[in-house]
Amino acid sequence: MNSEEAETPLVKEARRIMEVCNSCRYCGGFCAVFPAMELRRSFSRGDLEYLSNLCHNCTSCFHACQYAPPQEFDINNPKIMAELRAETYEKYAWPAPLAKLFHRNGTVMSLIVAFSVMAVLILTFMLQNKNVIFSAYQGANSFYQIIPYNVMIGVPIVIMAFSVFALFMGVIRFARGTDWKMSEMMNPALVTRAIIDVLLLRYLGGAGDGCNYEDDTFSHKRRYFHQTLFFGFMLCVASTTAAAIYDHIFHWPAPYPLTSFPVVSGTLGGVGLLIGTSGLFWTKMKRDKRPLSESLLGMDISFMLVLFLTSLSGLLLLFMRENTMMGSLLILHLGLVAGLFITLPYSKFVHAIYRFAALVRYAGEKRSNPRGDGIV
């Protein structure tokens, strides 16, 4: 797999646009794509796939462009970059046969998540007396009255291990396919630079005033919602990790007090996910549709919906953990979490992984060409 493969119409169109942009260079201060583009005189397929994953679809270059449709040059960078990005998700997915899950991704993802919830329900009925689901439990180990300990621990470990490995293999394939040196990918200084850029969501600030979404007006809304979602997700990961350490190392079984670290971080994380997903959905619905790819809406919305429902069911479970709703909410929440993680390598989540990899590569390019990108 390399950049010499037969080229798709999308690759050819992305190259045409980059060649026009490289002559114009008006948008250099908006994001990392243009400074990275300016380092090149020609664009291989690998270059274009890398640049498309540096793009975060802010649409500022569309609103600034004097060659945007209906002008005859028809320069629509955000749309072509988004479609090419989606093509890379499928091309580099591991294992390759599962790349088909990116076709009609919204429907496929919804079906897998619904199936996961059903599977947890059926498994619970097979392992337990159905009356346990509708009984109230209190105190330590109450969750294990519904789902036995070995199942609650074993199944998520298998799913997580598969998802993490599939994502890791995907990014290795992406690096190879875009002719990127593996040594750079593992370089601690470049990885640290990219982590700082991600934590600050630096490039979502545009040239300082934010980005365009609805029209020519600049705004930081999308950046703030993105940041809320990101930190919400990280807090939920911290909560689950802490709960696993409490249970397996200290032998303190769940559920934990309301003031404990897993509950506080999980609650804040859940609220962050609810606000972040709702806000991003709201901004997406209000966005100017011309620079968007309608065919990718299903992928975006299904991922946000599953994240929203997972955090909502987790918060409801927290507040109803001592009444008769606990069993059904636990099954629903675990089913949603399982569905979310099974589909992680084949959902919009891969954007986070490939974009991070692209930022590491960009950090290396900036280090070798220290002119500054002028982006705040």
Residues lying near ligand SF4 in the complex (CB under 6 A) are found at 20-21, 24-27, 30-31, 33, 55-61, 64-67, 75, 77-78, 81
CB of 293 to ligand SF4, least distance (A): 12
- Give the up-direction half-sphere exposure of residue 76: CA atoms within 13 A in the CB hemisphere: 17
Burial of 139 (0-12, 13-18, 19+ CB in 10 A): exposed
Residue 148 is classified by DSSP as -
Pairing of strands 218-219, 211-212: antiparallel
81 vs 171, which CB is nearer to ligand SF4? 81
How near is the Cβ of 11 to ligand SF4 at its closest, in Å? 16
Identify which of residues 45 and 79 has a Cβ nearer to ligand SF4 in the complex.
Answer: 79
Query: Which residues neighbour 19 within 8 Å (Cβ) at sequence distance 6 or greater?
Result: 43
Question: Three-state SS for 312?
Answer: helix
Nearer Cβ to ligand SF4 (268/352): 352
Q: Are 168 and 160 in contact (CB under 8 A)?
A: no
Angle of helix 350-368 versus helix 45-54 axis, rounded to 10 = 110
Minimal distance in Å, beta carbon 286 to ligand SF4?
A: 17
Q: Decide whether 16 or 176 has the Cβ nearer to ligand SF4.
A: 16
- When the beta carbons of 130 and 371 are compared against ligand SF4, the nearer one is 371
- E strands, the chain, where? 211-212, 218-219
Rounded alpha-carbon distances, angstroms, from residue 66 to 27, 72, 353: 11, 10, 33
Residue 23 C-beta: closest distance to ligand SF4, Å: 8
Cβ at position 348, least distance to ligand SF4 in Å: 16
- Tell me 65's DSSP state: -
Nearer to ligand SF4, 67 or 252 (CB): 67
Q: How far is the CB of 173 from ligand SF4 (least distance, A)?
A: 23
